[in-house]
């Protein structure tokens, strides 16, 4: 059956809309083959790969939480390679409290400074990357913090006092721990989804050793078998645009159904609301209005990828990843399935 997402009628669609409608089924198949195929090259990380795909399509940042040696950077590098993203479109950096803005957005152009212009040479830095990975993101100092918030919130940075758009579309970040400092609250809130990357050797000891040795061989011989050309970054961007066209048909002005009425059944939406209220009341979880809206979008993306369009109770599983600390993340990983199961 064709999904409601790809089969909805669009009044006076543009050529771009028509093309995306025609490509939607094939795009969905490619993205799903991509995410399941990539899972073969990482031990017990399919859940995180799925989240990375959902976040990438939604163009929402994703935070990976876990200690050293739990494959956080390996996940991102293989994800990037599997999409065929060239080095010129990728940026990664490990942040410290001593990291300077020039390391992230480029050094000042001395020649232009002599002419009185404060312009950075941003080639190869975060503003020109389409996909980025920032390790230990919460160790950033206040100068870096302000730059990151502007890039994440507004997709821009400043050159000579003027806002310039950035190329960034997909941002993954990692941290060993989630700090509680008040000055980092705004940055933490931008990561709607936060997921643990856990050690897997207890349950997958032999599989881990076998995969690790294969990885050593692949690195030594500069092989990347996970780069199978199933899906490209452009495919993910097309899916994102397809979603935007769906949102654009919102009937809140009175000329039709809203996106929520078309794709989020009332009983599922009430369950979404019930669980949020339960988490706020019982666990004192703080979800901002912004994150509620972002969660809606992410659930819509998950529904489109996994089942074709209409949000189901299973898509509410994304609420497992809204914790603001390691303790909350662990709690929700157990509690959300229980809350959903209690109404099954």
Question: What are the mean pLDDT values of the chain's consecutive 10-residue runs (344 residues total)?
Answer: 39 77 95 98 98 98 96 98 97 96 96 93 96 97 94 94 96 94 92 96 97 96 97 97 86 71 96 97 94 97 93 97 94 95 56
- Contact at 8 Å (CB) between 122 and 59? no
* Rounded Cα distance, 45 and 255, in Å: 44
* Rounded Cα distance, 237 and 2, in Å: 21
Q: Which helix (H) or strand (E) holds 190?
A: helix 185-190
φ/ψ of residue 173, rounded to 5:
-135, 160
φ/ψ of residue 254, rounded to 5:
105, 0
CATH superfamily of 27-220: P-loop containing nucleotide triphosphate hydrolases (3.40.50.300)
* Rounded Cα distance, 197 and 44, in Å: 10
Which positions ≥6 away from 133 have C-beta within 8 Å? 73, 76, 77, 80, 90, 91, 92, 93, 171, 172, 173, 174
Q: Which of 191, 73, 89 is nearest to 138 (CA)?
A: 191
* Rounded Cα distance, 130 and 168, in Å: 4
Q: How far is CA 139 from CA 77, 180, 301, 326, in A?
A: 21, 12, 31, 17
Q: In the 8-state DSSP scheme, what is residue 200?
A: -
Q: What is the largest CA-CA distance in the chain?
A: 68
Which positions ≥6 away from 285 have C-beta within 8 Å? 279, 322, 323, 324, 328, 332
Q: Where in the chain is the domain with CATH 3.40.50.300?
A: 27-220
């Amino acid at each position: 059956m064709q999904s409601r997402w790809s089969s909805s009628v669009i009044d006076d669609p543009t050529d771009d809309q028509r093309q995306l409608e025609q490509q939607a089924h094939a795009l969905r198949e490619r993205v799903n083959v991509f995410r399941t195929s990539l899972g073969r090259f990482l031990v017990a990380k399919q859940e995180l790969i799925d989240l990375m795909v959902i976040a990438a399509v939604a163009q929402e940042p994703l935070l990976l939480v876990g200690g050293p040696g739990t494959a956080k950077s390996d996940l991102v590098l293989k994800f990037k390679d599997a999409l065929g993203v060239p080095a010129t479109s990728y940026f990664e950096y490990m942040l410290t409290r001593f990291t300077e803005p020039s390391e992230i957005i480029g050094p000042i152009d001395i020649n232009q400074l002599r002419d009185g212009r404060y312009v950075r040479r941003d080639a190869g830095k975060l503003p020109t990357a389409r996909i980025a990975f920032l390790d230990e993101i919460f160790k950033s100092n206040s100068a870096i913090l302000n730059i990151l918030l502007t890039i994440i919130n507004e997709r821009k940075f400043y050159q000579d006092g003027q806002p310039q758009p950035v190329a960034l579309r997909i941002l993954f970040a990692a941290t060993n721990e989630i700090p509680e400092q008040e000055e980092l609250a705004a940055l933490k809130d931008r990561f709607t989804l936060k997921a643990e990357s856990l050690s897997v050797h207890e349950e997958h000891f032999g599989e881990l050793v076998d995969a690790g040795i294969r990885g050593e061989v692949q690195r030594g011989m500069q092989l990347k078998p996970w780069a199978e050309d199933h899906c490209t970054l452009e495919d993910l961007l097309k899916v994102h645009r397809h979603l935007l066209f769906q949102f654009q048909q919102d009937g809140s002005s009175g000329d039709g159904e809203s996106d929520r009425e078309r794709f989020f059944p009332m009983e599922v939406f009430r369950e979404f609301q019930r669980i949020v209220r339960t988490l706020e009341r019982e666990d004192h979880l703080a979800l901002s209005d912004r994150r509620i809206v972002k969660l809606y979008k992410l659930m819509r993306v998950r529904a489109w990828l996994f089942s074709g369009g209409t949000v189901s109770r299973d898509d509410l599983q994304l609420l497992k990843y809204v914790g603001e600390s390691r303790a909350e993340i662990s709690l929700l990983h157990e509690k959300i399935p229980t809350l959903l199961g209690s109404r099954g």
